[in-house]
Amino acid sequence: MDFRFNKEQSMLQKEIRKFANEKLEPIAAEVDELDEVSWEVVRLLAEQELFCLLTPEEYGGVGPTATSICIAREELSRVSGHADLLFAETGLCAFPIRTFGSEKQKEKYLTAFGKGELIGCYALTEPDAGSDVGNMQTTATLEGDEYVLNGTKCFASVGPFAQTYVTYAKTNPDAGSRGVSAFIMDKGTPGFSGVPMKLMGPHPIGELTFTDCRIPKENLIGEPGQGMGIAMTTLDFMRTSVGAHALGVAQRAYEEAIKYAKSRQAFGQALAEFQNTQFKLADMATELDAARLLVYRAAWMRDTVSDRITKEASMAKLYATEMAWRVVDQALQIFGGYGVLRGSITERLYREIRQPRVYEGTSEIQRLVIARNILGS
């Protein structure tokens, strides 16, 4: 059993790390404080052709794999959460189109996604439908050759700033979750608006409103009533990469903690000489390795074994995000007072890592998914 990346994967990892260190690191402290999109970061990601990892070869991409997306997200988030967010959100938008979309939809959107000409937003959550997605209230009524959408989405990352949206609405409200359908929405559509929301940490995110918003019938993804399956399949694929994001944040915290522990003097010796510090670092290293194995096992399974890795993806997301919270917290503890200084790397990572335990399925939802798979319920 070989736990190493293959030659192509190792090369990809080295290239993205070099790019992140040289191009993103100098601006990371600034852009990671933004509540709006940095189009400079979009340009850099596009020039590096990273968006091509999200699209198939026939549309100008390199053929997306779960492993390559996880590698990219780990390396990007190690340096800039903002860059990772723009990459991941476009991936969330591209996946349902490339997997369930019509040929016309693929030609229109996937090539543009791969070039970084369009930034996507995945709009699923509503004020009364977070974990309980089936309770969504947004509706889509077919009138002639158009669907008329009415409703509200919230906590939509990149929402007010994106150019293309994949969203969900009930085409048959009486059918519950089986009446949900998926749609593509373009920015500037009459009746569609977005306003920013403020979170505890910087994050371009917002609330989207559809008021008699008319979109062409051909903007439906798949068939009417397939929306919930499309949504869950998309999350199934991308959820593992949330674990990879958490790995990147935790890895950076771990590296910074080691550097600080070696250089900081207290009571006549470096912090790294104290057994208490050594125990913290040992626990951090062990948890990082355990999480990395879970994340890349799930990615490998998705690429080689099965299109559905629901349990494994949830395990990876659950453990990696919870692990990262613990690792960043311990890194901050090693830094002491300097760790909570506004603008310090540990303070930035601490704010960054709280959100992944909530989005794309809370830790509690992941445990529920895992348990149901174990029990066959």
360 catalytic, yes or no?
Answer: yes
Determine the number of helices (DSSP H) and then strands (DSSP E) in the chain: 11, 10
Neighbouring residues of 189: CB distance < 8 A, sequence distance ≥ 6: 213, 214, 215
CB of 168 closer than 8 Å to CB of 180: yes
- Of 105, 96, 90, the C-alpha closest to 59 is 105
322, amino acid identity: E
- Residue 173 token pair: 């409200």
Q: Point out the catalytic residue in the list 126, 256, 352, 360.
A: 360
- For the chain, list the strands marked E by DSSP: 120-123, 139-143, 146-157, 164-170, 180-186, 192-196, 205-216, 220-221, 265-266, 269-270
Query: 228 vs 20, 56, 132, 222, 285, CA distance in Å?
Result: 36, 24, 12, 11, 38
The residues annotated as belonging to the active site are 360
